[in-house]
Amino acid sequence: MSIETQLEGLAGGIPHGLGEGVALGTGLAEGYDFYDSALGQVIVTFNPEGVSSLDIADGFEDRYKERFGRPLIRAEAPKAWSRHIQESIERGSPGDLPVDLRSVTEFQRRVLHTTAGIPKGEVRPYGWVAFEIASPKAVRAVGSAVAKNPIPLIIPCHRVVRSDGHIGNYSLGGPHNKVELLLAEGAQPDLLEELAAHNVRVRADVSTETYHHPSCHLVRSATNVLDLRSAGAAEARGLRACPLCRPHS
């Protein structure tokens, strides 16, 4: 049975006699369509508020029913959004694309807003996200919020790694998909794993006397690099934190 045939059953919750256009326009049902990604074809759902979810096609029906349970109708996204959806998937950032995060809590929205700002080809640990949202002790809660991201790829939770620097798990198909995405973005996941195994948390550019997150593009291009176990160790050497990647955790 094709995924399109399976999803036809999810439109059954629309009130009798209500047209599909009205159901979509009023938000009583969500539209969905297929888009290309580095992981293959994905399904994106949307409503008048914006894009509400993204998932891989395999097993989508059950996961959507369990989490959202709203009727679905195959439809094209609004013309103003259609191009932005594909671009946002490829860029790994919402940009001007409206997103609907009503399915998550206010804390989770803060986490996801910060996650959306992580540059392509770079990663940040859970502790960094917690610090950025002024909740430095909420590292575990940050991990939970990232795992519940309803719009992966567009909000790039694959760019958030464990606080010990290891790549960690990934809700969109598992850790191998996370590695594939980071490889495609040039984030060097094998190097990041090696550095994490040696307890390297920051890397210093000796020539500029600055220290950085290991994936920061500024230190990746440096020729004289010093590996250190903490931001504190870097500060003790008189090094300054990179103002772009802000390696406070």
φ, ψ at 98 (rounded to 5°):
-65, 135
Q: Counting Cβ atoms within 10 Å, is residue 15 exposed (0-12), middle (13-18) or buried (19+)? A: exposed
Which member of 157, 216, 242, 245 is catalytic?
Answer: 157
How would CATH label the architecture of 3-91? 2-Layer Sandwich (3.30)
Q: Counting Cβ atoms within 10 Å, is residue 165 exposed (0-12), middle (13-18) or buried (19+)? A: buried
CATH class of 198-249: alpha beta
- As a whole number of angstroms, the distance between CA 93 and CA 109 comes to 15
Q: What proportions of the chain, in percent to the nearest 5, are helix, strand and coil? A: 40, 20, 45
> Residues 126-150: what's their mean pLDDT?
96
pTM for the complete prediction? 0.90
How would CATH label the architecture of 102-195? Orthogonal Bundle (1.10)
Q: Hey, where are the domains in the chain?
A: 3-91, 102-195, 198-249
Where residue 69 falls among pLDDT bands split at 50, 70, 90?
confident
Which pLDDT tens digit goes with each residue over 164-207?
999 999 999 999 999 999 999 999 999 999 999 999 999 999 99
Catalytic, 216? Answer: no
